[in-house]
Structures are given as C-alpha cells and as structure tokens.
Structure 1
Amino acid sequence: SETDRRLKTRGVEHEDIVELLKGFRTMSDDGRKKLMNILRVFMIVEGKEQHGNS
C-alpha cells in the first residue's frame, strides 16, 4: 500500500509498527499519552509535507 511504501522509505518496517502496537497495549496511561502526542505531531508534519510549501 501507499502507506507501507512511504514508511519503508523512512526505514520503518511493518513489523516494527506491529511490535509498537503490541507494546502500546501494555503501556501505562502516561506512556500512552506521550506516544499519542508524538504520533499526532508526526501526522501533522506528514500532512504539511504532502501539501508542499505554501
């Protein structure tokens, strides 16, 4: 898929994401909040990259 291709170019394998999600289940609430904040920032950055420099 497109997402898989984009992640692979960043050196992220699908297995890494699966492992991360498995770890997410066993995380504390505090750890989850921190991870979600990181992911949110990552998504925002990704979105800006796609739309080019405006």
Structure 2
Amino acid sequence: SKALQEANPVLADAIGCVTVHCLYHKSGCTWQGPLSESMAHGNGYQYGSSPI
C-alpha cells in the first residue's frame, strides 16, 4: 500500500496539523504542537526514554 502522503496528501497534511501533547507529558514535559513536529521535539531532552 502507498504511504498516506502519497495516497492522500490533503488528508496527510490535515493529520499532521493536529495539535498533540508530548509523549512525555505525564513526566512533566509541557510541549504541545503539530503532530508533524512531535518526533523532532522528542529528540534529546531531559524527560528520559520512557513516556511514563
């Protein structure tokens, strides 16, 4: 199957714009932003390697 971006770019862009909290929100991280930026946010910060 095709990647979503290739199969339906309008839907992929809409999903990427959804606002989400950091996976480490429960550990104290207050970041929130577009889903498309969430992976870049999580690289190398003080909340460790476990989103618990």
* TM superposition score normalised by structure 2: 0.32
Higher strand proportion: 2
Higher helix proportion: 1
| Structure with more relative contact order (C-alpha pairs < 8 Å, separation 6 or more) | 2
* TM superposition score normalised by structure 1: 0.32
